[in-house]
Amino acid sequence: MTQTARITVHPSFVVGEIDRRLFGSFVEHLGRAVYTGVFEPGHPAADADGFRRDVIDLTRELGTSVVRYPGGNFVSNYFWEDGVGPVDERPTRIDLAWRTIEPNTFGTDEFMRWARTAGVEPMLAVNLGTRGADAAANLVEYCNIPGGTTWSDRRRANGAEEPYGVKLWCLGNEMDGPWQIGHKTAEEYGRLASQAAQAMRRVDPTIEFVVCGSSGREIATFGEWERVVLEHTFDDVDYISVHAYYQERDGDRASFLGSAASFEAFLREVIATADAVAGRRRSDKRIRLSVDEWNVWYVDEFAGEENLDLREQPRLIEDVYSALDAVVAGDLLATLVRNADRVAVACVAQLVNVIAPMLTEPGGEAWKQTTFHPIALTAAHARGVALDARIEGPRLATAKHGDVSGVSGTVTWDAGSGSLVALLVNRTAEPVEARVEHLGFADVALAEASVIVGDDNVRGASSTDAAADLAARGAAAAPQPLDGVTTDGEVSTVVLPAESWSLVRFTARVA
């Protein structure tokens, strides 16, 4: 039996402008994200810098706007000076975060060249685990000062005559997590983050800062951590980080499909805490969110850092995704777009090989995973502003999140191109006929409609399986045409298959 839903939109009901930095990603020195991921000298597709051009091509197709580097947990015991200058003079270190041998053949200089080649904005994180304000300020000097100082002249001597101009900086990573090297209390971290931000901004007054929020909604420090840290850093920072991962546990398909409802509650709880700090200070400043780690991650399958063998470039956390994972990932990204008024930056973690939308084989091919498709389509078409789409329809009972909306999504409007886009997810096990009432729009016509159906939930494939098999699996979940979409110019009808993610694009004008 087909269920029904009603979706109402109007061009005057605007949530906020969609920041292109919502479509970011993340490259950490973890597993094969860097080595044999973005960087593999000698590979048939490598350029003169050793960058895999096949990965760069996929990065562009994914719509990636900003990339966070070099961590992640890795950054909390990283000496950035190890990754600049002549490669043959760089030290080989033990990375304590992931217990790997780090050769430092790829560092800040290589990343900045890669970012320029890939056409993405760099987002750099500084070590506030084992280091402090002085090392962080020196890195800003190295990256952003034209010349005439010790570190800027060192950059020029290393081959980068012009400054890198990095604007977006993360003040450490997950500093409340007991797994983090140099983890701290909220008071300790808040004071250090404030000191670091002030020192770094003395070097370059134009830069922006992301302060660490809690490592997750379930961690004991959540909420109080945000409050205390922002009490220390409110005047110094622009964004607070949110990290969120979801997985299907114990065959609980409904709760997995409802993950984005929990995600949205998480976002709004952080926003409420930030605004409470602003209210106590009688400030009209609004801290925005940097959701700089989000994804589907089967973390229960990870052995844990303490159980890893010390080696170089291991295959770590190379989850192979199903079509259902793609539906949930698309729902998570639609949730970020729906909260565009307060979410400014978001990074799917990570870009390649490590819980990523693409995989590579050393010396071999690069290919798309199932999750690549909803991310790429959303980045391509969700432009302009997010509208306050009101959705009424069936409910979904879940064991983990309670009763949640059976249909979720968002609608975006780009007045410049006349593109009205509905991103819709049917979380239920039955088809839903969605009636989209586009009030205030005229000349509405269907341009395209695509769907991903989560009917392949077979997991368990290994990233060491044949590359051709894994590539075929990703291709099998590529979006298909969504049939049966009708419109009379005032109301459109879209039949959403069970457990599916859909993108429906109309052309329109404001009436």
Q: Please indicate, yes or no, if residue 3 is contained in any of the structural domains.
A: no
Consecutive H or E run containing 133: helix 133-144
Q: Please indicate, yes or no, if residue 7 is contained in any of the structural domains.
A: no
| Domain co-membership, 173 together with 246 | yes
Q: Please indicate, yes or no, if residue 5 is contained in any of the structural domains.
A: no
| Domain co-membership, 95 together with 27 | yes
Q: Please indicate, yes or no, if residue 486 is contained in any of the structural domains.
A: yes
| Domain co-membership, 355 together with 493 | no
Q: What pLDDT, on the 0 to 100 scale, is given for residue 465?
A: 63
Q: Which residue has the tokens 């977006």?
A: 168
Distance between CA atoms of 237 and 346, rounded to whole angstroms?
17
Q: Please indicate, yes or no, if residue 491 is contained in any of the structural domains.
A: yes
Give, rounded to a whole angstrom, the gap between the first and last alpha carbons of the chain: 36
Q: What pLDDT, on the 0 to 100 scale, is given for residue 476?
A: 80
Residues facing residue 19 across a β-bridge: none
| Domain co-membership, 371 together with 500 | no
| Domain co-membership, 281 together with 295 | yes
Residue at 9: amino acid letter = V
Assign residue 421 the CATH number of its domain.
2.60.40.1180
| Domain co-membership, 333 together with 186 | yes
Q: Please indicate, yes or no, if residue 2 is contained in any of the structural domains.
A: no
| Domain co-membership, 123 together with 239 | yes
Q: What pLDDT, on the 0 to 100 scale, is given for residue 457?
A: 59
Active site residues: 174, 293
Q: What pLDDT, on the 0 to 100 scale, is given for residue 192?
A: 98
Q: Please indicate, yes or no, if residue 285 is contained in any of the structural domains.
A: yes
Distance between CA atoms of 305 and 182, rounded to whole angstroms?
15
| Strand stretches in 27-155, DSSP E | 66-69, 93-95, 100-102, 121-126
Q: What pLDDT, on the 0 to 100 scale, is given for residue 467?
A: 73
The string of DSSP codes covering 317-334 is: S-----HHHHHHHHHHHH
Of 442, 433, 449, 427, the closest CA to residue 498 belongs to: 427
| Domain co-membership, 77 together with 150 | yes
- Reduced to 3 states (helix: H, G, I; strand: E, B; else coil), residue 442 is strand
pTM of the model: 0.96
Question: What number of residues does the chain have?
Answer: 511
Range of the domain at 76: 19-383
Total domains present in the chain: 2
Q: At what angle do helices 53-62 and 372-381 cross, to 10 degrees?
A: 60
Q: Please indicate, yes or no, if residue 128 is contained in any of the structural domains.
A: yes
Listed residues 335, 355, 383: the one ending a domain: 383
| Domain co-membership, 487 together with 344 | no
Q: What pLDDT, on the 0 to 100 scale, is given for residue 458?
A: 57
Of 285, 310, 264, 257, the closest CA to residue 430 belongs to: 257
Listed residues 367, 383, 399: the one ending a domain: 383
Full pLDDT tens readout for the chain, 511 residues: 679 999 999 999 999 999 999 999 999 999 999 999 999 999 999 999 999 999 999 999 999 999 999 999 999 999 999 999 999 999 999 999 999 999 999 999 999 999 999 999 999 999 999 999 999 999 999 999 999 999 999 999 999 999 999 999 999 999 999 999 999 999 999 999 999 999 999 999 999 999 999 999 999 999 999 999 999 999 999 999 999 999 999 999 999 999 999 999 999 999 999 999 999 999 999 999 999 999 999 998 887 777 778 888 889 999 999 999 999 999 999 999 999 999 999 999 999 999 999 999 999 999 999 999 999 999 999 999 999 999 999 999 999 999 999 999 999 999 999 999 999 999 999 999 999 999 999 999 999 999 999 986 555 455 556 677 778 877 888 899 999 899 998 899 999 999 999 999 999 999 8
Listed residues 319, 349, 383: the one ending a domain: 383
| Domain co-membership, 269 together with 362 | yes
Distance between CA atoms of 68 and 98, rounded to whole angstroms?
18
| Domain co-membership, 456 together with 442 | yes
| Domain co-membership, 369 together with 413 | no
Assign residue 167 the CATH number of its domain.
3.20.20.80
